[in-house]
Amino acid sequence: MTNGPTHLADLTATRLTAGYAAGEFSPVEATAAVLERAAAAQAATNSFTRITADEALAAAEESAKRWVRGEPAGPVDGVPVTVKDVLLTRGAPTLRGSRTVRTEGAVWDEDAPSVARLRESGAVFVGKTTTPEFGWKGVTDSPRHGVTGNPYDPRRTAGGSSGGSAAAVALGAGPLSLGTDGGGSVRIPASFCGIFALKATYGRVPHYPASPFGTLAHVGPMTRDAADAALMMDVICRPDWRDWSQLGPVAGSFREALAGPVSGLRVAYSPSLGWDVPVAPEVAAAVRGVADRLAGLGAHVEEADPGIEDPVEAFHTLWFSGAARLVQPLGDAERALLDPGLREICERGARYSALEYLAAVDVRMALGRAMGRFHRGYDLLVTPTEPITAFEAGAEVPSGSGHTRWTGWTPFTYPFNLTQQPAATLPCGVDGDGLPIGVQLVGARHADALVLRVAHALYGAGAAEIPAPPAP
């Protein structure tokens, strides 16, 4: 974003830790500034389900002592962090946006793996961020917590399902946030809110408890830029025995890999994945500009589609079946409390047969092979993150669009959950209403460092400079 930082809450995590090390300011000062922003962000956008001010300040005080001793606990010691309210956090409820989650007598004594790694590294937890019920859709509103608005215009959606995290990061309520992405859920809101997000290769970031949506669901960083995401990845990718599907240890550091070259990379620019998708002209022009910028940085860029068909029906089969399994234990009275849209897809998901599910798996495997073949010729695929910018808040689909489900307007995100590839989004402009536009960078499986490196180069080249949202 442009409008250079003038406030501690506007600094990146990388800049904060450098300031702590130099004695310019303390984690307590930074946390106090972020908590002030968090309260304002909550009032403006409803981005939080819980703000833990007392706990955050106490943690910041302990961090400050470590920095004075020259013994930080890790790379994010003292950095304010928020967590999407579907990930377990020790000592705080995880409500998942649902009135069916009961808190009476519950014991919240476990961290999700990514939360545990951040806590071990000294992160300061500011609060839990809003999500649609169980993270089921690409916008953020829920029966339990209401509607989350966009920081650029609260009448518009923040996107979802990690919408609260995106709004919080955009408004300075912590430079780092943990989100989850099962069909676009870090990339959609990051695109709509003008921040960076990465859906890493599946298994790269350990995940527990396992998602009801199975191996579609990833955990990923949501940050102000690619450098902060790399910093976060160096922490949250550490192994955790509770995730049976995690990948092996990372070779090297994501931060160190940012310095690699972009020159010589083979980049495919695909305006619509070769599908009949009406991409808004302002979006198309901004994404084309990123392709041109990569060419200017020395990459070999050509317009090319990956030659795949839209796998939306296979995605629906897997996604709706997962939702049905999620609510299977609920009785009729509890089901009546669910988001009506969630209830509809659960009813549909319960009707799929095992053979229909396995046929969707076949589509998924064929799609993965096709993308593997495509990446033999190209290191990176560039697409719009979304064909549109943020629409009215509180709606699953834009009015008058003709779509019935959220997947209708986000065709460029869910394919890469099916294939488990790394995919990032960064801002690349704004439309005529001043709403952010996102560009998506997709790499081959395991090429997370390359995706981060190219995104970092684009930030360095000024491709991601957009106006900051209005102060809340």
Q: What is the CATH number of domain 8-460?
A: 3.90.1300.10
Dihedral (Cα; 470, 168, 417, 290), 10-degree rounding: 30
Give the integer Cα–Cα distance in Å for 50 and 129.
7
pLDDT at 356: 98
pLDDT in tens, 167-197: 999 999 999 999 999 999 999 999 999 999 9
Annotated domain spans of the chain: 8-460
Q: Is pLDDT above 70 for 115?
A: yes
Q: Looking at residues 118-140, what average pLDDT do you find?
A: 98
Q: Is pLDDT above 60 for 392?
A: yes
Q: Looking at residues 267-271, what average pLDDT do you find?
A: 98
Cα-based distances in Å from 342 to 28, 273, 442: 41, 28, 29
pLDDT in tens, 204-220: 999 999 999 999 999 99
Q: Is pLDDT above 90 for 6?
A: no
pLDDT at 106: 74
Residues 6+ away with beta carbon under 8 Å from 107: none
Mean pLDDT of the chain: 97
Q: Looking at residues 49-59, what average pLDDT do you find?
A: 98
pLDDT at 201: 98
Range in 5-19, 40-54, 109-123, 342-356 with the lowest mean pLDDT: 5-19
Query: What angle in degrees, to the nearest 10, is found between the helix axes of 163-170 and 27-45?
Result: 120
C-alpha of 282 from chain center: 23
Backbone dihedral angles phi then psi of residue 151, each to the nearest 5 degrees = -65, -25
pLDDT at 50: 97
Strand partners, 141: 147
Q: Looking at residues 354-358, what average pLDDT do you find?
A: 98
Reading the block at residue 456, the tokens are: 């970092």
Q: Is pLDDT above 70 for 4?
A: no
Q: Looking at residues 45-65, what average pLDDT do you find?
A: 98
CA quadruple 133, 241, 17, 65: dihedral sign: positive
Reading the block at residue 43, the tokens are: 């009032």
Q: Looking at residues 460-472, what average pLDDT do you find?
A: 96
282 near 432, Cβ under 8 Å?
yes
User: Model confidence at 472, in pLDDT bands (50, 70, 90)?
Assistant: confident
Q: Tell me, letter by letter, the H, E, C secondary structure of the chain.
A: CCCCCCCHHHCCHHHHHHHHHHCCCCHHHHHHHHHHHHHHHHHHHCCEEEECHHHHHHHHHHHHHHHHHCCCCCCCCCCEEEEECCCCECCECCCCCCCCCCCCCCCCCCCCHHHHHHHHCCCEEEEEECCCHHHCCCCCEECCCEECEECCEEEEECCCCCHHHHHHHHCCCCCEEEEEECCCCCHHHHHHHCCEEEECCCCCCCCCCCCCCHHHCEEEEEECCHHHHHHHHHHHCCCCCCCCCCCCCCCCCHHHHCCCCCCCCEEEECCCCCCCCCCCHHHHHHHHHHHHHHHHCCCEEEECCCCCCCCHHHHHHHHHHHHHHHHCCCCHHHHCCCCHHHHHHHHHHCCCCHHHHHHHHHHHHHHHHHHHHHCCCCCEEEEECCCCCCCECCCCCCCCCCCCCHHHHCCCCCHHHHCCCCEEEEEEEECCCCCEEEEEEEECCCCHHHHHHHHHHHHHCCCCCCCCCCCC
Of 139, 136, 187, 195, give the one whose Cα is nearest residue 170.
Answer: 195
pLDDT at 206: 98
Cα-based distances in Å from 226 to 161, 233, 244, 254, 463: 21, 10, 28, 10, 12
pLDDT at 107: 74
The active-site residue, picked from 185, 191, 211, 270, is 185
pLDDT at 5: 57
Q: Is pLDDT above 80 for 136?
A: yes
- Around 385, how many Cα atoms within 13 Å sit in the side-chain half-sphere? 36
Tell me whether residue 84 is one of the annotated catalytic residues.
Answer: yes
The active-site residue, picked from 84, 128, 137, 199, is 84
Tell me whether residue 270 is one of the annotated catalytic residues.
Answer: no
